[in-house]
Amino acid sequence: MPIRSHAPSAPAAGPTTAPATRRRALAAALALGAGIALATPLTAGTAAAASTTCLNGTLAFDHNDAEAGTHKPLVTQRARNSNWELWGRRTASGQVERLSSGLTGATDGRFSACHTGTAAPRDVHVRFFSSAGTLWRVVGAGTAKQGDPNWKNTTQYTFTTATRNTPAATTDLGTVKVPKAMQQAWKITDTLNQLYGKRGTGSLCWTAHQTSDCDQLTVAWRQDGSSGGYWDHPSFPGDTSDGTDWVVLKADDPDSKHLILHEAGHWFQWQLHNKQWPPVRDCDGHSLDRGASAACGWTEGFANAVAAYALGDSRYTFSTGDSYDLLDQRVVGGWGKGDWVEGRVAAALLELWGPNGPDGGNWNRTLKLMNTYVSADFRQYFTQHRPLAGLPTTGAAKTIINRNTIVY
């Protein structure tokens, strides 16, 4: 079997009531620059009067919101930091070509797709892509399905607005909706902003290991995918996986933002470790509430914590809409105890990183630790690597792990 880091299974007991979803504004605007090409559509060397034409609007998508509960209401959300291109003819007799490109707004999903030339362009449309610069992309729009031989399919989802033959200098397209069949691709693209905005480095790349030519996070998703809900580990000793280092999702997996970010969290940990990964065994069929192995509890617990931290809550939400508050389990009871249990590890991490926690109110120092040390499990992270990184292990830190049933 391929070695894969899956999303957790639900605990056997019924879920606790999910609190209302808190919508968070993106913590930090996606930095533009390295890795993101923005065309500058200027016509050089001409004295003719310039003419600017813009197609403006807001990109949005509908999605079933698992974080809102098991009824998963259909809600509309703006698509942030999504690649667009303006296409058209520079002159009435010219070829249709790319005129400019850019990203939708980092907070509002707005776009202003403009062309400046000696004449107003003809037959123009905007094409959108399921990617953010070259930092992340959602692929799978080609014919190959996950699980098929040679399924590695790098085709992004894309669609265009209706062609405007002779657009006014400023044309308002209003709200442009992603077509239903591909709206999950934009949900994934948009959700990854939540992690990128909290990546804890001044580098434009995902981690401090890179400052240019950033590694790109690839998520493969197909509605009819035959497998999904895992990160495809690239370089395990004895690895028989496809070796893509991609996150693979299928069908309605993306209904849960936590699920998207959990799998992205595995890729993020691997990046934080500069493409190293602790040896993880016995992790098949892992679940939030019971342990499979110490390494499994650590890597899965970290991924759960990534999802909650990125979304600014303390939950794990399944694609069904079933949701667990990880911190509640301290008092509810019924979950396994100790550092093999991923839900316990996640809760402890979230408390350590919490606003009033001992780590300074955020996870940045743990991310920095992970840049240097590859902990085999939570015990090594807490007892050995935290002291080396100057993070506390006594006082409030010890109290936190103890109340999450972890005792060293």
Residue closer to Zn ion, measured from CB, 105 or 343: 343
Number of residues that bind Zn ion (CB under 5 A): 3
Query: Smallest gap, in angstroms, from Cβ of residue 405 to Zn ion?
Result: 21
5 near Zn ion, judged by CB under 5 A:
yes
DSSP, res 254? G
Q: Which stretch binds Zn ion (CB under 5 A): 175-183, 193-201, 232-240, 294-302?
A: 294-302
Residue closer to Zn ion, measured from CB, 208 or 374: 374
Query: Smallest gap, in angstroms, from Cβ of residue 248 to Zn ion?
Result: 12
Residue closer to Zn ion, measured from CB, 183 or 366: 366
Q: 403: helix, coil or strand?
A: helix
What is the C-alpha separation between 44 and 70, in angstroms, rounded?
56
The token pair at 222 is 């197909």
Residue closer to Zn ion, measured from CB, 300 or 325: 300
Cβ atoms of 367 and 353 closer than 8 Å: no
Q: Which residue is nearest to Zn ion (CB)?
A: 5
Residue closer to Zn ion, measured from CB, 297 or 358: 297
Per-residue binding string, Zn ion, 244-283, x by CB under 5 A, is ----------------------------------------
CB atoms within 10 A of CB 311: 23
Task: Give 240: exposed, middle or buried? Use CB within 10 Å, 0-12, 13-18, 19+.
Answer: exposed
Q: First vs last Cα of the chain: how many Å apart?
A: 34
Query: Smallest gap, in angstroms, from Cβ of residue 4 to Zn ion?
Result: 8
Q: Which stretch binds Zn ion (CB under 5 A): 2-10, 39-47, 186-194, 209-217?
A: 2-10
Residue closer to Zn ion, measured from CB, 9 or 226: 9
Query: Smallest gap, in angstroms, from Cβ of residue 262 to Zn ion?
Result: 6
Range list of H helices, 325-403: 329-332, 342-352, 364-372, 378-379, 386-388, 396-403
- Considering only residues 136 through 155, tell me which ones interact with Zn ion, judged by CB under 5 A: none
* Partner residues linked to 156 by β-bridges: 139
Would you mind telling me the total number of residues written for the chain in this entry?
A: 408
303 near Zn ion, judged by CB under 5 A:
yes
Report which secondary-structure segment, H or E, holds 99.
strand 96-103
What is the C-alpha separation between 82 and 127, in angstroms, rounded?
11
The token pair at 263 is 């799998």
Interacting residues with Zn ion (CB under 5 A): 5, 300, 303
